[in-house]
Chains A and B, each alone.
Chain A
Amino acid sequence: MCVSATAKQNSTVLGPSNPDLYHGANALLAGDAEEGVRLTLIGLRYEHGGRDRLTGLSNLCAGYIMLEQLETALTYCDQVLEQNDDYWRAYSNRALAYVKLGRFEEAEQDLLRAEALSKNARTVKIVRSMLLDATDPVAPQVVIDDRRQPADDDEE
């Protein structure tokens, strides 16, 4: 479905300014990478600048990562960052692509930047953990200590 042209012609329609980008983002969030990329590419035909274009390019980067087309993903993340080097989602997405490609030093650099821009973002934290799992894996260990502690005697 291509609805951007119709939306552009009829300015009284309420809803997202670029429905293809909007539905593309929803498809990506739902895990449908192919549909998400397809709609986002259509949506980008009508965006020549501004925030929506950056959003679309960043989402394309994410979508191509989901499709495991990592080199293609990198080109879209690069385009975002050429236009706005404060776009934390693009740093996060590019870091993820680098992790998957085994380019850990570049991933670290992008993650540091993403963390500086948005230190509490959940996706950044997940990419950080993926990098750590790749470079410094850990195994959980649980110790169960039933020994009586001196303070236990206080309990009644």
Chain B
Amino acid sequence: MKSSPIQIVLLLVLGAVAIADESAEVTAVPDDSGDREPLLTVVPVYPEKARRARLEGEVQVCFNVSRTGKTSWVAVRSSTNRIFEKPSRDAVNASTYRPLAADKVLSGIKTCRTFRFHLTPVAIEMPAQAPG
């Protein structure tokens, strides 16, 4: 896969981003105040059924992050459309954080991540006809 400029920026910001849906453009807004640093951020697949029906939505998922950086107890906290919930949960389940340093105490606070699914209009121009 050829990396687009936005993906390269994300690699710097988030450590790594796994693009499950290669057709989707990805924008990441990191949290500077958090005590856990994302290591691998998996991007949810935009459901084809939703794309076809021109559905957009937002899902907030909250979860625990273990000392080793694995996510667990992944739960949807709010959602505008159920169609986006499973891809969001799957993405968080597959994502990881940097392991906690030995001298740090594991916080009991849940981590939350919000996924916004948007559709942007695309302008397509037909190529010129070859001269006959």
A interface residues with partner B (beta carbon < 8 Å): 125-126, 129, 132-133, 136-149, 152, 155-156
Contacts and interface: CB of A to CB of B under 8 A. Distances in A.
Contacts of A156: 108-110
Contacts of B52: 125-126, 129, 132-133
A147 B31 CA distance: 4
28 contacts: A125-B52, A129-B52, A129-B54, A132-B54, A133-B52, A136-B121, A137-B124, A138-B121, A139-B23, A139-B120, A140-B25, A141-B26, A141-B118, A142-B21, A142-B27, A142-B115, A142-B116, A142-B118, A143-B115, A144-B26, A144-B43, A144-B114, A145-B29, A145-B114, A145-B115, A149-B60, A152-B110, A155-B77
Nearest to B43: A142
A125 B55 CA distance: 13
Contact of A143 (B38, B60, B116, B121): B116
Contacts, number: 107
B122 A139 contact: yes
Given A144-B29, A148-B34, A129 B53 contact: yes
**Most chain B CB inside 10 Å of its own CB: which residue of A136, A138, A144:** A144
Contacts of B54: 129, 132, 138
A141 to B, nearest CB: 4
B112 interface: yes
Given A155-B109, A156-B110, A138 B31 contact: no
Q: Is the interface of A mostly helix, strand, loop or mixed?
A: mixed
B41 interface: yes
Interface of B: 21, 23-31, 33-34, 38, 41, 43-44, 46, 51-54, 60, 62, 77, 108-110, 112-122, 124
- Top 10 nearest A-B pairs by Cβ distance? A129-B52, A140-B46, A143-B116, A138-B119, A146-B31, A145-B114, A140-B24, A155-B110, A141-B118, A145-B29
B27 A155 contact: no
A144 B25 CA distance: 11
Contacts of A132: 52, 54
Contact of B46 (A142, A146, A147): A142
B112 A152 contact: yes
A146 B28 contact: yes
Nearest to B62: A155
B72 to A, nearest CB: 14
Given A139-B122, A140-B51, A146 B38 contact: yes
